[in-house]
Amino acid sequence: MNEIMRNLIKKILKESIEDDLTNEIYSFTDELYKEGVVLRASVRKDHEYDDRLTIILDLIRVDNNKPGEGTRGMNKLIDFADRKGLPIRLLVSTNYGMKEDWLERFYNKFNFKTIGTHPFTKGKIMYRNPE
């Protein structure tokens, strides 16, 4: 087998792993959604930071105003990440009306650390290694 074929097979296998892990996330986020918790995340290679497969958290929002629901959603995502040995990266966003300092304290409870600032939005980038 030549080098080109080997690299193509590696690429296909990596994409398949990313898709499989993302589909596993979708399975429990669908359950959360039925209960009023919107959580969008995917798994992909994090080219911006360390080239590892990483869970990218795009959004967590609670539509049902029940205290503790955001924490419950984060705990489900973190349990999954820890089981799979995957870090999580997110961008702190105030698009849904939450204050940046409140969001940062919320994510700090789950051992997220600020690792930088997004060059365009100027929002804080936070990262959590699996435990």
Which residue, 62, 43, 65, is CA-closest to 54?
Answer: 43
**What is the CATH number that goes with domain 3-128?**
3.40.630.30
Q: To 10 degrees, what angle do helices 69-84 and 3-34 make?
A: 150
Domain boundaries, the chain: 3-128
Backbone angles phi, psi at 118, to 5 degrees: -65, 135
Query: Going residue by residue through the chain (131 aa), what tens digit of pLDDT does each one get?
Result: 566 655 555 555 555 777 787 787 778 778 878 878 887 787 877 766 666 777 787 777 777 677 888 888 889 889 889 988 988 888 887 776 778 888 899 889 999 999 888 767 667 888 899 99
Sheet holding 88-91, edge to edge: 37-45, 53-62, 88-91, 124-128, 113-117
Q: Which of 76, 103, 109 is nearest to 91 (CA)?
A: 103
